[in-house]
Amino acid sequence: MRNIKLTISYDGTVYKGWQIQKNGRTVQEEVEKAIGKVFKKKHRVHGASRTDAGVHARAQVAHFKTSSAIPVGKIPLALNAVLPEDVAVTRAEEAPPDFHSRFDSRSKHYTYCILNSTDRDPFREKYSWRVPYRLDVPLMRKEACSLTGRRDFKSFQAADKRERTSVRKVFYIDINKRKSFLTIDIEADGFLYNMVRNIVGTLVEVGRAYFPPGSVRKILKNRDRTTAGPTAPAKGLFLVEVKY
C-alpha cells in the first residue's frame, strides 16, 4: 500500500471549509471525488489543516493510501484534469507508510491580508479585509510580541469542544505594510478554532486606537473571548505552509 502526500492550493471562497460536511461543498469532498475518478476507487483523504469556510490555502497538505501503480509524477496532472478550477494539486510525492499529514505536522504558517484604505478595490477586496481606519502599525507589532511563545489563547478561541487545551506555541508574528497593503504572518505549533482571525481582529482594534497599549497582554490573562476584538473575515486568510 502506497502513502501519497499531496500539496493542494485552493480558493476557499465558495467552499464550506476543508472538512466534509453534510450541507455545502467542501475542498476535501472535491479532492476525494477527483481521486475516485482517477484511481477508479473511493479513497479517504486526510488534510493537515481544517480550514474554515471562505479560507484559502496556498499549500494545504493531505495524504491518502492506495494500491494503484499510477506514477507519482503523473498524479497532479491527472487530478487537476478533473478538479474544479479553484482547486489545484501542485505536488504529489511518496510518503513513508506511517506519515500522517495532520498529526505529524510541527507547525503551520498562515498569512492574513488587509487592504488599509478608504478606497474600494474590487479585485484586492476579494482576498483581503478592507479596513478604512488609519492603523498604527508599529503599535500593532509591539502588542503582537505579547502573543509569541507558549501561551493560553482561550481569549482568542471560538467555541470548539474538540480541543482539550487552549495552550499553543506561537513562533512568530510578522506585520508588514507596503503602501496600503498589510500582511500579518503567524506561525504556531497549532491553532484553535478562529484563533488567527480573532488575533487579527484584536490587532486591528489596537491599530485604530480602540484598544489602548497593553491590551493584548490583559486580554490573554482574562481568558475570555468577549474581551478580545472581532473575528476578521475569512476571505483574507491563507494557509501558506505546513512544516514537518
Residue 11 annotated as catalytic: no
Query: Mean pLDDT over residues 141-154, rounded?
Result: 97
Between the two ends of the chain, the Cα-to-Cα distance in Å is: 22
Closest among 39, 233, 228, 59 to 131, alpha carbons compared: 233
Q: What is the CATH number of domain 2-95?
A: 3.30.70.580
Closest among 128, 106, 112 to 185, alpha carbons compared: 112
Q: Are 102 and 48 in contact (CB under 8 A)?
A: yes
Query: Mean pLDDT over residues 137-166, rounded?
Result: 91
Closest among 75, 80, 18 to 49, alpha carbons compared: 18
User: What residues does each domain of the chain span?
Assistant: 2-95, 107-243
Number of Cβ within a 10 Å radius of residue 125: 15
Same topology, domains 2-95 and 107-243? Answer is yes
d(C-alpha 197, C-alpha 235), whole Å = 10
Q: What's residue 159's pLDDT?
A: 75
CATH topology of domain 107-243: Alpha-Beta Plaits (3.30.70)
Q: Among residues 11, 52, 121, 174, which one is catalytic? A: 52
115-120 long-range contacts, CB within 8 A, separation 24+? 115/180, 115/181, 115/182, 116/177, 116/180, 116/181, 116/182, 117/180, 119/180
Closest among 45, 53, 54, 52 to 8, alpha carbons compared: 45
Q: What is the pLDDT of residues 79-111, one digit of tens each?
A: 999 999 999 999 999 999 999 999 999 999 999
d(C-alpha 98, C-alpha 12), whole Å = 29
Percent of the chain with pLDDT over 70: 99
Q: What is the pTM of this model?
A: 0.95
| H helices present in the chain, as ranges | 27-39, 75-80, 137-144, 195-207, 215-222
d(C-alpha 7, C-alpha 59), whole Å = 6
Query: Mean pLDDT over residues 36-60, rounded?
Result: 97
Residue 136 has pLDDT above 80, yes or no: yes
